[in-house]
Amino acid sequence: MNAESIMKTQVIKVMEGNTVRSVIEKFINNGISGLPIVNDRNEIIGYISDGDIMRYIGKHKENMMNAFSFVNFLHGDDDKFEERARKILDYNVMKIAKKSIYTVKWDEDIEEIARILGKKQIKKLPVERNDVLVGIISRGDVIRSAFKYLL
């Protein structure tokens, strides 16, 4: 079994010029939590997940009271969670996306795919052929494919 035999070919993706707002809309409308980012040639250039967004809006400023943070505090520049969440909607997706991501080739063996997903603790792997996005494989896809004939 290889990637091509278990991958989903209808990949929900986002273009590199899109905003985080469009990503969140895709998350909500499709019940997903991550998606690949592609350029105009459909080459995979990044990946964004709900975890990336959470890490960004959950950032806290340093607790140390240095001169810079004191000035920011006086001028009201200490963004609150809701303010950061509102601001992030209009950011370009590449501002917070992972640019160094794991992918697999369309003919990769399922055993190697399982190894990557497990070792790297990631939920999905974009699949490429000739450097172009052609599918996506989740941990669930691997489990279903590996065990459907054993149960």
Q: Which CATH number fits the domain that encloses residue 79?
A: 3.10.580.10
- pLDDT value of residue 78: 54
Domain that holds residue 103: 3-147
- pLDDT value of residue 67: 44
Q: What is the DSSP letter of 93?
A: G
* pLDDT tens sequence across 27-75: 999 999 999 999 999 999 999 999 999 888 876 444 334 444 444 444 4
- The structure tokens listed for 14 are 């986002």
Answer yes or no: are the C-beta atoms of 33 and 106 closer than 8 Å.
Answer: no
The total number of structural domains in the chain stands at 1
How far apart CA 143 and CA 58 sit, in angstroms, is 32
- pLDDT value of residue 57: 81
The residue type found at 46 is G
